[in-house]
Chain A
Amino acid sequence: MRVDLRTPLARARSLIALPAGAILLAFIVGAVVMLVSSPLVTGHFDPSLPLRTYAAIVEGSLLSVNALVDTVVAATPLILVGLAVGLGFKAGLFNIGGQGQFLMGAVASAAAGAALAHESPIVAITLSVLAGVLAGAAYGFIPGLLKAYTGAHEVVTTIMLNYVGIQVISYLITGPLRAQGASFARSPDVQNAELPAFLNVGTGHEAHIGILVILVVVPAISWLLYRSTTGFEIRTVGANPDAARYAGMQPRRLVILSLTVGGMLAGLAGAIEILGVSGYMPAAYATNVGFDAITVALLGRATPGGIFFSGLLLGALRAGAPLMQVKAGVPVQMIDLLQGIILFFLTADVIVRFVFRVRAGHAKLDELQTVTRSYGSGTGKP
């Protein structure tokens, strides 16, 4: 009896022991960085700074209904783009282009929303979301095609496309899409295409219906990966592309498919951000969703369930960041640094094992070991 009770618990513990340990260590290192830099923050050495910082993050992300809504709203794009990156990992691809795919989805839905601003909400919302999804898909399709047919490594091409994307948006928003009479370069309001709130707890803290998409998309991707034959093919290509070819699968098709579906997810995230949060697209849309999503995917070990929870965690950090900046004076860039350190400890799991005496389950990111393939020996090459 006792064994029956303990085994699932032990398994769950071994599953989260390493990520939890990595996060804890990262927060400790982050605290040290804050201590050292505290003279720059408060003008004098301030031992209480880390505590105040973390308290502000917790307050801003968890300790009120507003805060919780902020966390979920911030987590939504992270989970979606995290799934895009995670799906790539499963297929043996490192999609660093979540940023560009997100931005293209955002600008496309902003354009569609502006054009449909006076249609009925159902039409306007549906078509605007669709525009974002398609634009993201197209932007994921390009590196997929390049990888499959020329072997150009997706790490470099997706990053290059992120920079190209910035220029495309700059052109569109300062040119054809620029709103008349706006004080800065931005697209017109999407008006009727705006996602309605289903829970309105106060100005600026609306839970729009976009966040409900997560409840559909996470199980859907999980089903795709583990229940469908296509998912089996994707995982086979990721684990061993030669075996996939031998087994009659089509690696090129699957590479393109994985990156395109990833692009759809990231584009959807961009659309939800524009239609649900900002209502328009500025020329310089500041986001770090691309890097955040990599952290989310790795922290969640590239599984949809894991990505869901790690997305919520990162969402909480992002949601708490503004209050952290106000209350503790620590710049939001601290969050960027924190995630880098989380990733470091996640990868250098020997340190976590040593510090916390973790022995259970070799929960190494084994499914991620295949990401590094040399340039040219592309997954889809004949």
Chain B
Amino acid sequence: MLTGLFDIPVLGLILQLLDFLLNVVTVNGPVILSLATPLALGAMCGVISERSGVVNIGIEGMMLASAFSAWLVASVAAQAFPAEPGFFFGVTPALLIGLAAALATGVAFSLVHAWLSISIRADQIISGTIINIVAFGVTAYLDLLLSRTSQPSGGKFVAFAPPQALLDLPVIGWLFRMVLAQGPITMAAIVIAVVFQVLLFRSRWGLRTRAVGEHPKAAETVGIDVIRLRYRNVLAGGLLAGLAGAWFTIDFGTTFQTGMTNGRGFIALAAMIFGRWHPIGAFGAALLFAASGALGTAIRTTPPPGQLGEILISIPEQVFSALPYLVTIAVLAGVVGRSVAPAADGQPYEREATH
């Protein structure tokens, strides 16, 4: 109905662009949600850790290592326990074992981060950097060795297939398609975001977490074990990062490539900040970043017709590849001043008694 206005010189072009963006989001909704999954899980890994006062920039490395172990373990397990994909999500024993391996890897790396930053009281950003470097090094090294023998894939989860009748419903059908036609990790991410949000603000654990992240000494004086709570939260964050890692190699794709997380762990941090350290907010921000990534793909595969299409296609593809990173920078620059981190974020806690 708006198409009549598309011929107006400048305004028309803007309207066409908006129309195209809306189209990209509608058509690619499920893909965007799926692409947002590792960002959202990574961001929530950041939220759970930073709400208790531990900065975690090792998310990138945790995801990368988990992606690698999910792939490798699923692959080995698939050879050991060959099985037909199950009805729900195409689940096989190998995939479950791979998933468990990813979670364990995430926890193992977060344990290192927790030990360095909580017990040793090392600089938390340096600790996170170590995680990133070690994860990159060990996965690159093993991946290269394994590529000499060409490891078979262990398969992947498949998206849930909701009844067609549900998808055909007007308006809501689109929403159902977006949320229900997803793999298990994406669905889990949605559930986790909601549960996490409620727990953070209504449960004992949530109250204590927020207190420890804001004023650990106050928490300690009312008998809360700051060290233990921070350990638990960082380790729980490791689970989330592990889940995010698994998404790369046994949900979205089926193979591992060196450095395949490509900075998504850092984009997740930006999503955490943009979402003001709220689980739901972080999820929303992750969707924005994922959408900016989907845009480039959409322009290359299905460019809009007419003048707009010509303009967009003439833009070098590298601009669109760089878009998520540029959006991240823009968001950080625009939002940080107004988004307040937990007061004790990044500060090691030392018990009074040990003075």
Chain A interface residues (CB < 8 Å from chain B): 33, 37, 40-41, 94, 96, 146, 150-153, 155-157, 159-164, 167-168, 170-171, 175, 291, 294-295, 298, 331, 333-341, 343-344, 347-348, 350, 365, 368-369, 371-378, 381
Contact = CB atoms under 8 A, between A and B. Distances in A.
A37 B318 CA distance: 38
B110 to A, nearest CB: 14
Nearest to A343: B130
B330 to A, nearest CB: 9
B137 A163 contact: no
Nearest to B125: A372
A374 B346 contact: yes
A150 B126 contact: no
Given A96-B129, A333-B141, A348-B122, A372 B346 contact: yes
By Cβ-Cβ distance, the 8 closest A-B pairs, closest first, are A337-B137, A340-B134, A336-B137, A340-B133, A152-B332, A333-B140, A333-B141, A167-B322
Given A168-B322, A343-B129, A344-B130, A373 B346 contact: yes
A131 B123 CA distance: 36
A171 B269 CA distance: 27
B266 A375 contact: no
A88 B26 CA distance: 44
Given A150-B334, A347-B123, 14 more contacts: A37-B145, A94-B125, A94-B126, A146-B332, A150-B332, A152-B333, A163-B325, A333-B137, A333-B141, A344-B134, A347-B126, A347-B130, A375-B341, A376-B341
Contacts of A40: 142, 145-146, 148-149
Interface of B: 55, 57, 112, 115-116, 120, 122-127, 129-130, 133-138, 140-142, 144-146, 148-149, 258, 262-263, 266-267, 269-270, 273, 316, 318-319, 321-322, 325-326, 328-329, 332-334, 336-337, 339-343, 345-347
Contact of B337 (A167, A295, A336, A376): A376
A160 to B, nearest CB: 4
B327 to A, nearest CB: 9
B144 A164 contact: no
A40 B141 CA distance: 11
Contacts of A163: 262-263, 322, 325
Contact of A159 (B141, B263, B342): B263
Contacts of B267: 160
Which of A155, A291, A295, A376 has the most chain B CB atoms closer than 10 A to its own CB?
A376
A221 B124 CA distance: 27
Given A156-B332, A376-B336, A338 B122 contact: no
B328 A160 contact: yes
A160 B266 contact: yes
B318 A168 contact: yes
Contacts of B343: 374
Given A160-B328, A160-B329, A163-B322, A171 B145 contact: no
A288 to B, nearest CB: 9
A378 B336 CA distance: 9
Contacts of A294: 129, 133
Contacts of A171: 316, 318-319
B146 A175 contact: no
B341 A340 contact: no
A347 B116 contact: yes
B340 A376 contact: yes
Contacts of B138: 33, 337, 340
A295 B57 contact: no
Which of A161, A171, A333, A338 has the most chain B CB atoms closer than 10 A to its own CB?
A333
A341 B141 contact: no
A160 B289 CA distance: 13
A337 B141 contact: yes
5 contacts: A160-B329, A161-B325, A167-B321, A344-B134, A372-B55
A369 B123 contact: yes
Contacts of A338: 137
Nearest to A149: B333
A368 B267 CA distance: 25
Given A40-B146, A347-B130, A372 B141 contact: no
A167 B334 contact: no
Given A156-B270, A163-B322, A336 B332 contact: no
Nearest to B143: A333
A30 B209 CA distance: 37
Given A146-B329, A159-B263, A167-B322, A341 B134 contact: yes
A340 B113 CA distance: 13
B325 A164 contact: yes
A352 B143 CA distance: 30
A156 B328 contact: yes
A150 B336 contact: yes
Contacts of B347: 372
Contacts of B116: 344, 347-348
Nearest to B334: A150
Nearest to A377: B341
Nearest to B131: A340
Contacts of B337: 150-151, 376, 381
Contacts of B341: 374-377
A157 B319 CA distance: 17
Contacts of B142: 37, 40
A151 B263 CA distance: 20
A368 B126 CA distance: 9
B269 A156 contact: yes
Contacts of B336: 150-153, 375-376, 378
Contacts of B319: 167, 171
B134 A347 contact: no
A371 B341 CA distance: 16
A166 B16 CA distance: 31
A369 to B, nearest CB: 6
Contact of A347 (B127, B140, B144, B258): B127
B134 A155 contact: no
Given A167-B322, A337-B134, A153 B123 contact: no
Given A159-B263, A171-B318, A375-B336, A291 B133 contact: yes
Nearest to B270: A156
B123 A368 contact: yes
A149 to B, nearest CB: 8
A167 B321 CA distance: 7
B125 A371 contact: yes
Contacts of A336: 133, 136-137, 140-141
Contacts of A340: 130, 133-138
